[in-house]
A and B are shown apart, each in its own frame.
Chain A
Amino acid sequence: MIKAEVKGSIKFPPLALKKDLQFVAERIIVPILQSNIEKQIALDERPLKPNDPKYTERKIKKGLRPEILIATGKLRRDFFVADAGPYAVKVRIHPERSKIGVYLMDMGKNFFGVSTRMEENAMTYMKKRIREILLNARS
C-alpha cells in the first residue's frame, strides 16, 4: 500500500476575530480594570501608588471616599467598549475623563492597560473557543 502524505499548501484567508476581541474587551479587560481599582491594585497587581495624605484629608472633608482612584465611583463606571471598524474594538475611558486618566497614569497610578492576568485570561478563552468548535465539529 502506498502512503501519500499531503502537505497543506492552501493559504487560508485571515480569521475574523472581532467577536472574540469584543468578548475579551467586555468580559475580561473591563471587569479586571474595574476590579483592580476596587481592590486598589495596579496593572502589575501591586498596590496602587498611594495618594498624598493631604489630598486624602481633603477628599474625606468633602465627603468623598478616601481610597485611591475612587471618589464618587465614576471612573470605574466610565470604562466602556467601543466599535473601531469592521475588525477592531477599543476599550476606552469616557472622553471627558481621559485627560485626567492620562494625568493619573503619568502620576504613577498605573491602572489602565492590558495586564498579565488579562492576557492569560484572553489566551485561556481563545484556547477554550478552539476546543469547543472542534468538539462541536466532532458531534
Chain B
Amino acid sequence: MPEANDELFKQFINREITAMEIFLSSKASKAAITLEEYIQTRLVLGASEETIEADLIKDLEEGGRIFGEFRSSVRATANGIINRTRDSAVFSEIGIDTQYRWVAVLVNTCPDCIERHNRVQTWDKWEEEGLPRTGQTVCKENCRCVLLPKDTLEIEPIRREKR
C-alpha cells in the first residue's frame, strides 16, 4: 500500500506543481520605506540608536510586524519546501484577505489534518494555527496537505478501491 500512496502523491505533485521555486517576499505596500529611512525617522523622533537596534533585532528574531514576512521567507523549510513555496506564490498573487481551504490528500492522513481538511479561513489564521509542514500537526514535516484559495478548485477525496 505505501507504494500506491507514493504513486498517488506523485500524481498529486505532477498535477499541482509545474516549477520548483523558493518564494521570498516582503510586505506588499506602495508606501513601503527603506530600512535607512525607518532608522532616520526614528532617530529624528528622538529614539536612541541602542533602542532602535534592540527593537529591530527583537522584531527580526521574533518575526514581528517589521520583519515578519522576511523572517517567514528565510525560515528553513527542508522537506516541505515544494508545496509551501507554491502556497506562498499563490498567496502573494491573490492577497491577504483571500480565504484558504486546507486540502488533505486523504491517504494515510493524520488526525490533525483530517480535522483541518476542507476548513476555510484567511492565511493569517492558518499561520496562527500552523501551516502544513510547519510541525503543528502530528505528521510534522511529512504533511502532504496544501492550502488552496477557497474558490480555486474543489478536490474530490481520492477513493481507494479494493483490488
A123 touches B49 (CB 8 A): no
B39 in the interface (beta carbon within 8 A): yes
The minimal Cβ–Cβ distance linking A57 to chain B, given in whole angstroms, is 24
Total number of A residues with any Cβ neighbor in B under 8 Å: 54
Binds A, one of B28-36, B108-116, B123-131, B145-153: B28-36
> How far is it, in angstroms, between the C-alpha of A99 and the C-alpha of B22 when the chains are bound?
15
Of all chain A residues, the one with the shortest Cβ separation from B43 is: A137
A110 touches B76 (CB 8 A): no
Of all chain A residues, the one with the shortest Cβ separation from B36 is: A133
> How far is it, in angstroms, between the C-alpha of A77 and the C-alpha of B80 when the chains are bound?
23
The minimal Cβ–Cβ distance linking A33 to chain B, given in whole angstroms, is 9
B78 touches A43 (CB 8 A): yes
Of B20, B27, B66, B76, the contact of A115 (CB 8 Å cutoff) = B76
The minimal Cβ–Cβ distance linking A123 to chain B, given in whole angstroms, is 7
A134 in the interface (beta carbon within 8 A): yes
Interface positions, chain A 112-138, Cβ under 8 Å from B, are 112-116, 118-119, 122-123, 126-127, 129-131, 133-134, 137-138
User: Can you name 5 A-B residue pairings with CB atoms under 8 Å?
Assistant: A8-B45, A14-B66, A20-B35, A85-B92, A119-B74
- Residues of B that sit less than 8 Å from A by CB: 6, 9-10, 13-14, 17-29, 31-36, 38-43, 45-47, 49, 52-53, 56-57, 60-61, 66-67, 69-70, 73-82, 89, 92
